[in-house]
Amino acid sequence: MTKVPPAVTGSPLPGLDGEAGTLLLGDYTLDGGATIRAEVAYERYGRLSPAGDNAIVVCHALTGSAHAAGENGWWAPLIGPGSTFDTDRYAVYCANIVGSCYGTTGPESVDPATGKPYAGTFPAVSVGDMVALQRLAFAELGVRSIVTAAGGSLGGMQVTEWAAQAPELVRSIIPIASVLAHEPWQIAFNEVARQAIRNDVSFHNGDYAAHGTSPDAGLALARMIAMISYRSAMSFDERFGRATQGGPPERPVFAVESYLRHQGERLVERFDANAYLRITDAMDRSDVGAGRGGAVAALAPFRGPGLVIAIDTDALYPPSGQVAIVEALRANGNRVEYTELAALDGHDAFLIEWGQLDAAIRPFLASIE
């Protein structure tokens, strides 16, 4: 059964002059060669112009959904009337990525060949597939030109893929806390998380639903591992210190332990383990320059400006990764702005530092209008 994201949305979206929906796109052949029957869940905020040229695309991260704005939207403070991505001027689109569990085709979807959910047999997907299906969906919705594509983490990887895959469509890009290709440090965290899921006795080689089980312990542990990489040592010190929170007198529970357990439990309630495996694998295999002659050559057809945003305390995607994006774009003569958020919270600052994000993005958008 398709997981329910943190906010359940309807169609239309009150107060945002938008809509939520799902498009059936038909058969799509993935980069790995397998063919799926593709559905794409999306949300739109603001009205698309008659010419279809005022669209902004925002791309979500690993466990995100198409619900970017409105109540509990993952970028809600940045999207709306008069906001950073001003829905009085732009039509802001977000689509759930392929391989996920929030409405777009993924492991929980029914395999037409068997009439049963794909589960562990769902094929590998790529960041290229994620963007290609978004392109098809947005074209179906009437988008003819994109003012900017923006996103953080995996969302930022999609953004650079947009520039390489559809340079004629995207007029500017805003990759945040991201990389041109996953590096060993990022792959290592993802592999440990995947092993936590696969080593759960309830995993059953991905066919856990048929066995009436779920690898909840493994998925929760995967999330706990990820949460350490998403924050910084300074943020943990500031928030938790050595405080304790319940537990027996002889072994009280540290507050940071309680926090990590809670985060794991929350993800289990809303996300699918097979989807976690497929998406993290897609992230690890992502390399915008692969098969394109390297990153500089891959991005050469894209001629628009870029705003590249890093986070100074990001342990998972250090600023060096964003500097590499800047250098690849500038090597082709693109106008590129670079800024670092000064943040205590590490990688997750792209979901927290609303004021700094607004201060960087708003003038950039004004400069390209």
111-114: long-range contacts, CB 8 A cutoff, minimum separation 24: 112/37
Across-strand partners of 272? none
Q: Which of 129, 229, 347, 348 is catalytic?
A: 347
As a whole number of Å, the CA-based R_g of the chain is: 20
**C-alpha to C-alpha distances, 350 to 12, 60, 105, 222, 310, nearest whole angstrom:** 27, 11, 27, 21, 9
Q: Check whether 10 has a pLDDT greater than 50.
A: no
Residues of the chain with CATH 3.40.50.1820: 19-182+287-368
Whether 178 is a known active-site residue: answer: no
Is residue 120 pLDDT above 70, yes or no?
yes
Residue 350: what pLDDT? 98
Q: How confident is the model at residue 16 (pLDDT cuts 50, 70, 90)?
A: confident
Is 128 a residue whose pLDDT tops 50?
yes
Q: Which CATH superfamily is domain 19-182+287-368 in?
A: Alpha/Beta hydrolase fold, catalytic domain (3.40.50.1820)
pLDDT by residue (tens digit) across 327-346?
999 999 999 999 999 999 99
Helices (H), the chain: 127-140, 154-165, 184-198, 216-230, 233-239, 255-270, 273-285, 295-299, 319-331, 354-368
Q: What is the pLDDT of residues 176-220, one digit of tens each?
A: 999 999 999 999 999 999 999 999 999 999 999 999 999 999 999
Catalytic member of 65, 83, 153, 229: 153
Among the residue ranges 1-15, 87-101, 193-207, 299-313, the one predicted with the least confidence is 1-15
- Using 50, 70 and 90 to split pLDDT, how confident is the model at 12? low
- pLDDT tens digits for 44-58? 999 999 999 999 999
- Average pLDDT score over residue span 140-164: 98
What is the pLDDT at residue 11? 54
Question: Mean pLDDT across the stretch 342-363?
Answer: 98
Burial zone of 186 (CB within 10 Å; 0-12 exposed, 13-18 middle, 19+ buried): buried
Of 7-11, 52-56, 360-364, the range with the lowest mean pLDDT is: 7-11
Q: Is the pLDDT of residue 98 over 90?
A: yes
On the CB side of 212, how many CA atoms lie within 13 Å of its CA?
Answer: 0
Separation between Cα atoms, residue 103 and residue 97, nearest integer Å = 9
**Active site includes 347?**
yes
* Dihedral (CA of 348, 352, 356, 361) sign: positive
Which residue has better confidence, 4 or 169?
A: 169
Identify the active-site residue in 284, 314, 345, 348.
314
pLDDT for 252 beyond 70: yes
Question: Where in the chain is CATH 1.10.1740.110?
Answer: 187-282
Based on the residue annotation, tell me whether 211 is a catalytic residue of this protein.
no
* Fold entry, domain 187-282: Rna Polymerase Sigma Factor; Chain: A (1.10.1740)
Q: How far apart are CA 80 and CA 92, in angstroms?
A: 9
Give the model's confidence band at 1: pLDDT under 50 very low, under 70 low, under 90 confident, else very high: very low
